[in-house]
Structure 1
C-alpha cells in the first residue's frame, strides 16, 4: 500500500517582476553552480575512494595495533597480575587485620564493656538511693520555709505594682491620650488634606505636560518613522524578499540540474575510460597474456622447476656423500694417530633380569627345566 501523500499546495499567482527576475537569474546561477557541483562531486568520489582504499584499512590496522599494544597487555596484566595480587592482599589483610580485630572485639572489648556497664548500673542504683533517701527529704524540709517567705513577698509585690500602675496611668497615659485626641489628630487630618490637594494639582500639571510631549513626539518622530516604514522600507523589504526567494530557488534548481549534468559527465567519462583503457587491457589480458603465460608456464617454468628439483636432489646427495667421506676420513686419521678408542668395561649392577618369554620348548618348573 502506497503511503498517503499530502495534496499539492496551490500555487500563488506571481507578478511580472518575479517572472522577469527568475529566468536570467537561473541562467546566471546555473552557469556559476555547474563547475562548483562538478568539483564537489569529484571531491566526493575522491573521498569515497580514499576512505575505502586508505582510511578504512589504516583504521583497521591502527585498531589491531592498539589491541595488540594496549588492550591485550593491559588485559593480561589485569587478569594475571592485578587480580591475583588483589586476592592475595585481601587474604593477607583478612589474616593480619580482620581476624585479630574480631578476636580482640570478642575476647577483650566485649568483656570490658560488660564490666563497665555493670559498674555504671551499680553507680546509678546508688545515686537513685541517695536521691530518694537523702536529698529528697532535705529538699522538702527546705522548701516549706521558702514557700512562706515567697507568699509574703508576692503579696507585698502585688500591692506595690498596683500603686505604680495607677500612678503611671494618671501621670502619663491620660495626658498623652488627651494630647492625641485634641491636638495631633486634627493637625494630621489638615496635613493629609493639604497633601491630597497638592498631589491632585501635580497630577493635572503632569498630565498636561505628558499630553504635550506625546503630541510633539508623535509629530516629530512617530509619523515620519511610520511613513518611512510604510512607503520605503516595507516595499524595499518585499523586493529583497522576492529576490532572496528567487535566488534560493534558483540555487536549488541549479544545484539539482548541475548534479544531473555532473552525473552524466561522470558516466560519460567512465564509459570513455572503460572503452579506451579497461576494455583493451582486458582484451590484451584475456587473448594475449593468459595464453602466453600458460605457454611460458608449460614450456619454460615447469621444466625449469623440475630440473631445479633434480639438480637440488643431486646436490644434496653429493653433499651427503661428501660429508660422510669427510667424517670417515677424520675418524681414520684419529684412529691412526691415537689408536682405537678404549671400550668401557661392563659393570654388573645387580639388577634383576627380565624373564625370558615362554616358548613350546621351555618350561618354568624345576622338574622339567633343562
Structure 2
C-alpha cells in the first residue's frame, strides 16, 4: 500500500539550500486550544477506518488492473481489431479499391470521353453558330425595335405628364390644404392642452411618491437599522468568528488525522504483509526448497530417467523390428516378382575409351590431341 504518498508532510529542503527563518507564532486563544485537541481526536477516530479502507481499495484496484483489466483490455483490443479492423481493411484493399478503380476507368471510357467528344465536335460549333446569329441578326433587329418603342414611349410619357399634373392640382386643393388647416387650428391646440394636463398630473404624482418614500425611509431607518446593527455587532460577528475558528481547526484536524492514518495504514499494511509472508510464503518456499525439490530430483533420477531410457530402448527395438519386418516383406515381394516375371537384366556399365568428342578431337590446325591436351 502506497499510503505514504498521499497526505504526507512536505519534504525537507536539501542540505545546501538556505533555511528560511521560522514563521512568527501568533498567540492563540483558549477557545482555539480547547477546540483543537478534541477535534483532532474525533477526526482521527473517524478518518482512520476510512483511510485504511481507501488504501485497501487502492491496492486491490491496482492488483485488479494489473492482473485482470489490463490483460482483458489487450484481449478485447485484439478481438476488436480482428473482428472490426482487419475485415474492413481486407474489404477495402481487395474489393472496394479494385472495384473503384474499375468503375473509374469504366466511367472515363463510357462517360468522360463521349462527353468530351460531344462538347468538342457538337456543342462548340453550335455555340459559335448561335453567337454569330446573335451578333449578325438578332442584335440589329433588336436595336430597330428599341428605337421604335422609345418613340412610342415618349408620346405616352408626355400625355401621362399632363394627366398627372391635373391630378396633383386637384389633390393639393382638395386634400392637402384642408388637412393643413385642420392640423394648425384644431389638432395642435388640443394636443398642447392635453400635454399641459398630463404634465401637471405627473408632477403631482411625483411629489406624492417622493413624500411617501421619504416618510417610509425615515420610519424604516428608525425601526430596522438599530436592531440590525445590534444583531450584526453582538450576534452574527461573534458567531461567524466562532464558526470560522471551528471550521479551520476541523480542517486542520482532518488533514492531520489523514496523514496520521496514512502512516498507521502503512504500518498495518507492512505488518500484514510480513505476517502473510511468514505464515504462507515462507512455509511454501521452505516446502518447495527443502521437500519438493529433493523429492522431485530423486523421482527424476530414480524413476523418470530410467523410465525414459527404457522407453527410448523400447522405441529403438520397435523401430529395428519394424525395419527388419519391412526388409523381409521387401525381399518376399522381390522373390515373388522374380518367380512370376523372371529376373531383371543387369545394367551394362559404360566404359570410358578416352575417345575425343566434339572440339576436343585433333584437327589439322592443332598440334595436340585429346590424350595429350592436359
Q: Which among 277, 282, 285 is matched to residue 285 of structure 2?
A: 282
Q: What's 1:210 paired with?
A: 213
> What are the superposed Cα offsets for residues 13-66 of structure 1, whole Å, 9 maximum, x if unpaired?
322111101101111221221122112111111111111111111111222222
Match in the other structure for 2:96: 82
How has the CA–CA distance of structure 1 residues 162 and 28 changed in structure 2, closer, same or farther, with 3 Å as cutoff? closer
Determine helix, strand or coil for the equivalent of 2:76.
helix
Residue matched to 1:243:
246
Residues in 2 aligned to 1:163 and 1:309: alpha-carbon distance in whole angstroms = 138
1:255-310 Cα offsets, whole Å, 9 max, x none, are 11000011011112222333343334334433443344333323332222121111
- Structure 1 291/177 Cα, relative in aligned 2: closer, same or farther at 3 Å? closer
Counterpart of 1:33?
47
Q: 1:252 aligns with which of 244, 248, 255?
A: 255
Partners of 2:355 and 2:192 lie apart in 1 by: 160
Alignment of 1:1-370 (within 5 A): 10-127=24-141, 130=144, 179=185, 199-322=202-325, 340=340, 359-361=353-355
Q: What is aligned with 1:347?
A: none
SS in 2 for 1:14: coil
- Aligned partner of 2:368 in structure 1 is none
Question: What do residues 166-205 of structure 1 show as CA deviations (whole Å, max 9, x unaligned)?
Answer: x89xx8699779958xx976x8878766665554444333
State the Cα distance separating 1:131 from its structure 2 match.
Answer: 6.0
CA distance in 2, matches of 1:284, 1:26: 48
RMSD between aligned residues: 4.6
Structure 1 stretches lacking a partner, 5+ long:
344-355, 366-370
Distance 2:335 2:24 in 1: 116
Residue correspondences, number = 338
List per-residue Cα deviations over 1:285-337 (Å, max 9, x = no partner).
3344334433332333222212111112222333454566678779999x8xx
Structure 2: stretches of 5+ with no match in the other structure = 1-13, 344-349, 362-374
